[in-house]
Structure 1
Amino acid sequence: MKESIYLETTVVSYYTSKPSRDIVALAHQEITRQWWPIAIRRYDIFISEVVTEEASFGDPEAAKRRLEELKDFPHLELNDKVEEMAQVYMERLNIPEKSFRDAAHLAIACVPEELMEV
């Protein structure tokens, strides 16, 4: 059985975006482009509706590229346990309400697999 990875939106954004003029962002893109083909063979990769939603934002062509790369990955569903944990993260880490998606990513990645719905 492969190890599993929860793929957050930033990763697919680095993988599919045009080369950045910012040297740090460009390095992130290059590392991600090298990592991606290895990861999709080595790991069971999961995303969530939060990832799909975020990937659909912004430039329509860029969104299309992101969504195309994500289309075959199984989706982990937000459930009551994930939402409860996201609220705990928001309270304890002082995450602002506008950043609920960030707390949801943390919760989805940390909730035990047996409590998740695919």
Structure 2
Amino acid sequence: MKPSLYLETSLISYNMMVATHQQITREWWETRRLAFELFVSPLVINEVSQGNATEATKRLAMLKNIPTLEPNNEVAELALAFLQEHGIPHQA
């Protein structure tokens, strides 16, 4: 069984400003994503839907076969724990 991996928006972001980050992201997507069982949330779907319509369509196509986890209390508690412990930046 593959390990699970939740994808947040920066992995497929429409606003990556650093070319190196873009290249690393592309390489990960091409070489490592198949090693994991991937998941996204409705928030990720909403975020990648924004911006340039052509690019948004491409981003949505990348997520087409990735299951969407619906929010619940456990997810909310985990998100709060990440924020409280500074596990992710507030700007993320």
- The TM-score bracket by the shorter chain reads 0.7 to 0.9
Distance in 1, Cα, partners of 2:79 & 2:3: 23
For structure 1, the 5+ residue unaligned runs are 103-118
1:1-118 to structure 2, matched below 5 A, reads 1-13=1-13, 25-87=18-80, 92=84
TM-score by length of 2: 0.77
Distance 1:65 1:81, change over 3 A: same
Match of 2:70, as an amino acid?
A: E
CA–CA distance in structure 2, aligned partners of residues 31 and 11 of structure 1: 10
Extract unaligned runs of 5+ from structure 2. none
Q: State the identity %.
A: 39
Aligned equivalents of 2:26 and 2:51: distance in 1? 21
Aligned-residue RMSD, C-alpha: 2.5
Relative CO higher for 1 or 2, CA cutoff 8 Å, sep ≥ 6? Answer: 2
